[in-house]
Amino acid sequence: MRVSLEWLREFVDVTAPDDEVAHRLTMAGFEVEGVERIEGDQVFEVNVTPNRPDCLSVIGLARELSALYETPLRFPELDFAAESKELDFNLDIFDPDLCHRYAGRVVRNLTIGASPAWMRNRLEKCGIRSINNVVDVTNYVLLELGHPLHAFDLDTLKGRRIRIGTPGTLLGQGRVNSMATLDGVEREIPTDSLLIWDLERPVAVAGVMGGLDTEVKETTKDIFIESAYFEPRSVRRTSKTLGLKTESSYRFERGTDIKMLKKALDRAAYLVREVAGGTIYGKIDVYPRRYYAPVVTVRHEKLNRVLGLSLPGSEIARCLRRLGLETEEHDDSVTVKTPTFRRDLTRDVDLIEEVARVYGYERIPAELPAVPVGSRGRATRAREVLQRELKESLLKSGFTEAINYSFMGTADLDLLRIAGDDNRRRLVPIKNPLRIEDSFMRTTLVPGLFRNLFHNLAHGNRDLRLFEVSKVFIARRGESLPEEREHVALLAYREKTKALYRDETPDFYLLKGLVEAILGNLRVGDVSCVRSSEPFLHPGQSADVVIGGNTVGFFGVLSPVVAESLDLKAQKPSVLVMELDLGGLAPFLGQQARYRALPKYPFIERDIAAVVESSLDASALVGWLRSYGSDLIEEISIFDVYQGGSIPAGKKSLAFRVRYRATDRTLTDDEIEAVHRGLVAHLLEKSGGQLRQ
Q: pLDDT tens, 221-235? A: 999 999 999 999 999
Range of the domain at 437: 376-588
Residue 506 clears pLDDT 60, i.e. is over it: yes
pLDDT at 425: 93
Over the stretch 587-616, which tens digit does the pLDDT of each residue have? 777 667 777 788 889 999 999 999 999 888
Same domain as 150, residue 13: no
Q: Which of 104-108, 302-306, 501-505 has the lowest mean pLDDT?
A: 501-505
Which amino acid, residue 114?
Answer: A
Instruction: Give the end of a domain, one of 588, 620, 643.
Output: 588
Residue 69 clears pLDDT 60, i.e. is over it: yes
Instruction: Give the end of a domain, one of 246, 265, 286.
Output: 286
Number of structural domains in the chain: 5
Quote the CA–CA distance of 221 and 235 in Å, as a whole number.
30
pTM: 0.60
Over the stretch 623-632, which tens digit does the pLDDT of each residue have? 889 889 888 9
Nearest to 243 by CA among 203, 193, 176, 201: 193
In a domain, 83, yes or no: no
pLDDT at 175: 52
Average confidence score pLDDT of the chain: 90
In a domain, 595, yes or no: no
Residue 332 clears pLDDT 90, i.e. is over it: yes
pLDDT at 468: 95
CB 55 within 8 A of CB 65: no
Q: Which residues pair with 400 in a beta bridge?
A: 466
Over the stretch 163-203, which tens digit does the pLDDT of each residue have? 999 988 887 654 557 899 999 999 988 888 999 999 989 99
Same domain as 470, residue 433: yes
Residue 568 clears pLDDT 80, i.e. is over it: no
In a domain, 340, yes or no: no
Same domain as 400, residue 496: yes
Cβ of 32: how many Cβ atoms within 10 Å? Answer: 19
Nearest to 188 by CA among 197, 175, 198, 200: 175
**Mean pLDDT for the stretch of residues 461-488:** 91
421 exposed, middle or buried (CB, 10 Å; 0-12, 13-18, 19+)?
exposed
pLDDT at 232: 96
- To which H or E segment does residue 145 belong? helix 133-145
Same domain as 224, residue 199: yes
Same domain as 275, residue 205: yes
Over the stretch 507-555, which tens digit does the pLDDT of each residue have? 888 898 899 888 888 888 778 888 888 999 998 889 999 888 889 999 9
**Mean pLDDT for the stretch of residues 645-658:** 90
Same domain as 390, residue 418: yes
Same domain as 548, residue 481: yes
In a domain, 77, yes or no: no
Contacts 24+ apart (CB under 8 A), 165-172: 165/93, 165/94, 165/95, 165/194, 165/195, 165/197, 166/95, 166/98, 166/191, 166/192, 166/193, 166/194, 166/195, 167/191, 167/193, 167/195, 167/202, 168/192, 169/94, 169/95, 170/94, 170/195, 170/197
CATH number at residue 28: 3.30.56.10
DSSP state of 115: P
Q: How confident is the model at residue 489 (pLDDT cuts 50, 70, 90)?
A: very high
In a domain, 639, yes or no: yes
pLDDT at 590: 66
Cα 237–Cα 242–Cα 247 angle in degrees, nearest 5: 75
CATH number at residue 250: 3.50.40.10
Q: Which of 187-191, 396-400, 447-451, 463-467 has the lowest mean pLDDT?
A: 187-191
pLDDT at 237: 94
pLDDT at 172: 67
> What is the Cβ-side half-sphere exposure of residue 44, based on CA atoms within 13 angstroms?
27
pLDDT at 11: 96
